[in-house]
Amino acid sequence: MHISNIPVIAIDGPSASGKGTVAQRVATALGMHYLDSGALYRLLGLAAQRRGIALEAEDRLAELAGQVDIRFEGADIWLDGAQVGDELRTEEAGSAASKIAALPKVRAALLDKQRDFRRAPGLVADGRDMASVVFPDSVLKIFLTASAEARAERRFKQLKEKGMGANIAALLQDIQARDERDTQRSVAPLQQAQGASLLDTTPLNIEQAVQEVLSRYHALESK
């Protein structure tokens, strides 16, 4: 199958909107591959911290992006041959990812790595610029969002369930700051891509959001 014939479902959206969980479940339901592009930036941040590379060192980070070995196997994530756990989901990792994602050379270095995930029978990719930059020919483009308050609440529950300490006011502040950074950056800012349909999950639970994406995909297939 030619690469351009391999279908991609692109799900973009702000931090903590639930797009990762939704994308993962949609991929499982359709038997497709899954790309968590945010995890790539988090992994790169983690690899940089382990090597003592500053998060502002654009050239060194871009070089590192070309060297690191990243694999997704179901819900498991591997970095340079070792499995990565909950350290990837901390607020620090998210903040580091948001900072390095604003660096043009780093984004360029990770572009090919992201496109390599496009394999038959298809790919569900989530991130900030999947529909606009990485896979502009996606068959389905979804911009998945929720109010900042709903997202802070979800993140709070998530962290509590993992036994991590959390403060809802601080989480809300962090989410708002990250939204601003992601939407204002000069390269590939977070935005609803042309041709993307909006899915506001504020009133929905995960199952409802997954069903909504699946029904939009099946509606396209039946055309």
Q: Note whether residue 169 is domain-resident.
A: yes
In this structure, what are the phi and psi dihedrals at residue 22, rounded to the nearest 5 degrees? -60, -50
How many Cα atoms are found within 13 Å in the side-chain-facing hemisphere of 221? 10
Q: Note whether residue 24 is domain-resident.
A: yes
Q: What is the mean pLDDT of residues 58-77?
A: 89
Can you give the CATH number for the domain in which 161 is found?
A: 3.40.50.300
Q: What is the mean pLDDT of residues 72-81?
A: 84
Identify whether the C-beta of residue 33 lies closer than 8 Å to the C-beta of residue 119: yes
What tokens were used for 71?
């694999």
Tens digit of each residue's pLDDT (9 = 90 or more) over 188-211: 788 898 899 999 999 999 999 999
Cα angle, residue 37 at apex, residues 19 and 147 outer, rounded to 5°? 30
Q: Note whether residue 69 is domain-resident.
A: yes
Q: Note whether residue 203 is domain-resident.
A: yes
22: domain range? Answer: 7-217
What pLDDT score does 133 carry?
A: 92
Q: Note whether residue 44 is domain-resident.
A: yes
Q: Note whether residue 223 is domain-resident.
A: no
For residue 58, is pLDDT > 90? yes
Q: Note whether residue 222 is domain-resident.
A: no
The pTM of the full predicted model, rounded to 2 decimals, is 0.86
Q: Note whether residue 47 is domain-resident.
A: yes
Fill in the amino acid letter for 63. E
Domain count, the chain: 1
What tokens were used for 89?
């989901």
C-alpha 169/C-alpha 173 separation (Å) is 6
